[in-house]
Amino acid sequence: MNNNPIISTTDIRKIYTMGSTEVKALNGVSISIKKNEYVALMGPSGSGKSTLMNLLGCLDTPTSGEYELNENFVSDMTDSELAEVRNKEIGFVFQTFNLMPRMSALDNVALPLVYNGTKKSLREEKAEEVLDLVGLGDRIDHKPNELSGGQRQRVAIARALVNNPSIILADEPTGNLDTKTSVEIMQIFEKIHAAGNTVILVTHEPDISEHAHRIIRLRDGIIESDLKNDKIVSFADRKHEI
């Protein structure tokens, strides 16, 4: 069994130049995440957590340092290879959902499969399957403006799952949702993790981070703490259906 980390960063730094000022968003971050870990990245605004999320998701590249994803050095990849990694290996869930307003739930979910050339019949079959998984099998023809905030986030999660990625990256996935809906969304992430996915979520909310099995706290671009969560909040014993 391969026990090597699925994600490994070594002394990564990210510097933004704003006029004559340099902003050190990340200042030497080294982390190692194994397959099927459930990790929360926490920290106040400006701590570097979203910058780190973008780097882990291959949406940006570090100014210096090394990032290995599935034992491949990201810095050695071409733009087309990075795009392929983002499409196949990583599922993204954003706070603002990022859905196409004129497309149905089914077509929004199927979009990543369009980019990799999957034929239409298989695209629709897979999209229906994951919409069923998140409890929206009866909403496949609805457009985003016909869905509640929680339902839109479920569509976004289904889209992230449709390529069966090994890693799910979620940036403040409950940030625009009420408490009850947030609980339901966190139940879905628990199921995703239980199915074998690696889940990494960015949050500033302690009650959301408590669902993760490991909590990494950032401050001023460095890791302040990296601890196992001994008080995991779980819904495994609840009979509430998603």
DSSP class per residue in 163-177: T--SEEEEESTTTTS
Within a domain: 20? no
Residue 197's pLDDT band (boundaries 50, 70, 90)?
very high
pLDDT given for residue 148 in this prediction = 92
Q: pLDDT tens for residues 24-39?
A: 999 999 999 999 999 9
Find the helix packing angle between 120-133 and 105-115, rounded to 10°. Answer: 130
Question: What was the pLDDT predicted at 114?
Answer: 86
Q: Is the pLDDT of residue 242 over 50?
A: no
| Residue 173 to residue 124: CA distance in whole angstroms | 25
Domain-embedded: residue 4: no
Average pLDDT, the chain: 89
pLDDT of residue 236: 52
- Asked if residue 14 is part of any domain, the answer here is no
- Arithmetic mean of pLDDT, 78-100: 87
Number of domains comprising the chain: 1
Domain assignment present for residue 11? The answer is no
pLDDT bucket at 241, cuts 50 / 70 / 90:
very low
Q: At residue 175, does pLDDT exceed 60?
A: yes
**Can you tell me which residue has the tokens 């496949």?**
140
Q: Is residue 234 part of a domain?
A: no
Mean pLDDT score, 87-97: 87
**Does position 171 have pLDDT exceeding 60, yes or no?**
yes
CATH of the domain at 150: 3.40.50.300
Q: Does the pLDDT value for residue 96 go beyond 70?
A: yes
Return the structure tokens found at 120: 């239409």
Domain assignment present for residue 203? The answer is yes
Q: Would you state the pLDDT for residue 85?
A: 87
- 17, part of any domain: no
pLDDT band at 239 (very low <50, low <70, confident <90, very high): very low
Number of residues in the chain: 242
Q: What is the average per-residue pLDDT within 154-167?
A: 92
Could you give the angle at which helices 149-161 and 120-133 cross, rounded to 10 degrees? 130
What pLDDT shows up at residue 220? 94
What domain range includes position 202?
A: 35-58+78-228
In a domain, 6, yes or no: no
